[in-house]
Amino acid sequence: MQQTLKLIRDRYSERGAFDAKRPVAKADLKMILEAARWAPTPTNMQNFEIVVVDDTQQLEAIGKIPAYMSENFLRENYAELVSTEEELRIRKRGMLASLFPAAWTDPQAWDEDSDARFQLTFLERAVQENPLLLVVLYDGSKRAPGSERDLPGHMSLGCVMENMWLMAEALGIGFRVLTVFSDSPVEREVKKVLRTPSNMKVAFACALGYPVQPSRETYLRVRRDMEDFVHANEFGRRDPELKSEAQDIP
């Protein structure tokens, strides 16, 4: 049980570049896809497809797609950033501003006419520095039974992500989620490159590989303590026995 918990705690988002010359072995890829295959889905509808992209020309084509960040995204992301590790330890959520491109942390660079905003918003670096890209699709014309907005269906896509992520962690393979692929302008161009059916939508993409320089030890990772979010029988009541024991992971 402790090994399972350790695997969950060790899972993290690799933020550095991957070694494009070191491919992920097919046997390891199959295990990651097998983990996705057994993700829980509502009514076992298995509402996803996965496109494996490891062809250099395909990666280059996707890398040329512009992905301009909206000012709304930048402002909301900025609100979750902190400047020091001490502040992050106290806050127990969010991310260090130093992990993001400088223009993402400078409100003056968010103007639509700013060159700095556009210099950082192409997929090239995020895609072409990776030997493998998995693009997860779902059928936008279907939904989970009894769910008008398909919330259970979308939750199951998160289960697919988590299963793959944990398996990659167990195999020592770096994993980074690229949510920008589900942004409408980017999604349209990605679908053209991948020749996906019109009813399929991009849920997310993930880059996999072996880090050139692992970032695991370069940034502080924190979580709220158990007593900060667990309520006993009614909201606001705490159980003194339900407290966190593990420390934050550096």
- Over the stretch 24-75, which tens digit does the pLDDT of each residue have? 999 999 999 999 999 999 999 999 999 999 999 999 999 888 877 777 888 8
Q: For helices 2-10 and 151-171, what crossing angle results, to 10°?
A: 100
How confident is the model over 132-152, as pLDDT tens digits? Answer: 999 999 998 888 888 888 889
- Please identify, in words, the CATH class of the domain defined by 2-67+124-219: alpha beta
What pTM did the predictor assign?
Answer: 0.88
CA atoms within 13 A on the CB side of 168: 28
Average pLDDT over residues 175-195: 91
Q: Read off the tokens for 59.
A: 């990666």
108 DSSP 8-state letter: G
Instruction: Give the residue among 224, 176, 229 at the shortest CA–CA distance from 204.
Output: 176
Residue at 157: amino acid letter:
L
Q: How far apart are CA 235 and CA 216, in angstroms?
A: 35
pLDDT at 117 over 60: no
Average pLDDT over residues 237-245: 91
| 149 close to 95: Cβ distance less than 8 angstroms | no
Q: Read off the tokens for 111.
A: 């103007």
Q: How far apart are CA 174 and CA 165, in angstroms?
A: 9
Q: How many CB atoms lie within 10 A of CB 90?
A: 10
Using CA atoms, how far residue 162 sits from 88, 129, 167, 237, 240, in Å, is 24, 23, 8, 30, 30
Q: How far apart are CA 233 and CA 218, in angstroms?
A: 40
What pLDDT is attached to residue 113? 57
Q: For helices 56-63 and 184-194, what crossing angle results, to 10°?
A: 160
Longest dimension (CA), the chain: 57
Q: How far apart are CA 35 and CA 117, in angstroms?
A: 37
Q: Read off the tokens for 167.
A: 């398996």
pLDDT at 98 over 60: yes
In the chain, where are the structural domains located?
2-67+124-219, 77-121
* Percent of the chain clearing pLDDT 90 (strictly above): 55
